[in-house]
Amino acid sequence: MEKVNKIKSYNELNKMNIAKAISIIFDTKNDMPSYIKKMLLERLLWATTEHDNQGNYKKYEGQPYWSKGALRKLISNIAEKQNKPKLNPFQDLRHEHSIPKKIIRELTLVNDITIEQAFEILNNFGHAVVISKDEDKLLNQKKLRS
């Protein structure tokens, strides 16, 4: 049997905490309006990839997956920062979901989803990739958006 390499999650505890919240939100005993549930889910899906295990915001810094274009841009920005101290080294970089949030949203919009089910979805599909602004434009042109 062929071994499948899984993407390593750098923030499993964060994803477990979010899975717990999703399970509470989508419990059928919870009479929260569905539009509120969807709004909360949308924010939680962003937090899945933007925060580390301590809840710290890590949209770029600390992200394990970077495209070649993003690394080149980061190196260029760091070099340019010597002449422009106020330059943000993450300028012209984008935080993109490797699996579109739309797909993850569809998988998690289930009444009575368990913590384990939500965690499995988030841990398997909730990963970000830092890409360059130019690579982001290509994704837009190809209509490959979250």
* Per-residue three-class SS string for 80-132: HHCCCCCCCCCCCEEEEECCCHHHHHHHHCCCCCCHHHHHHHHHHHCCEEEEE
pTM above 0.75, yes or no: yes
Domain for residue 126, yes or no? yes
Domain for residue 6, yes or no? no
Residue 63: what pLDDT? 93
Domain for residue 74, yes or no? yes
Instruction: Measure Cα distances from 58 to 20, 96, 107, 111, 120 in Å.
Output: 21, 13, 25, 30, 22
Residue 10: what pLDDT? 82
Domain that holds residue 25: 12-141
Domain for residue 124, yes or no? yes
Domains identified in the chain, total number: 1
Q: What is the mean pLDDT of each run of 10 residues along the chain (146 residues)?
A: 64 97 94 94 95 94 95 97 94 94 92 95 95 95 76
As a whole number of angstroms, the distance between CA 112 and CA 95 comes to 30
Residue 1: what pLDDT? 56
Domain for residue 146, yes or no? no
Residue 50: what pLDDT? 94
Domain for residue 116, yes or no? yes
Domain for residue 46, yes or no? yes
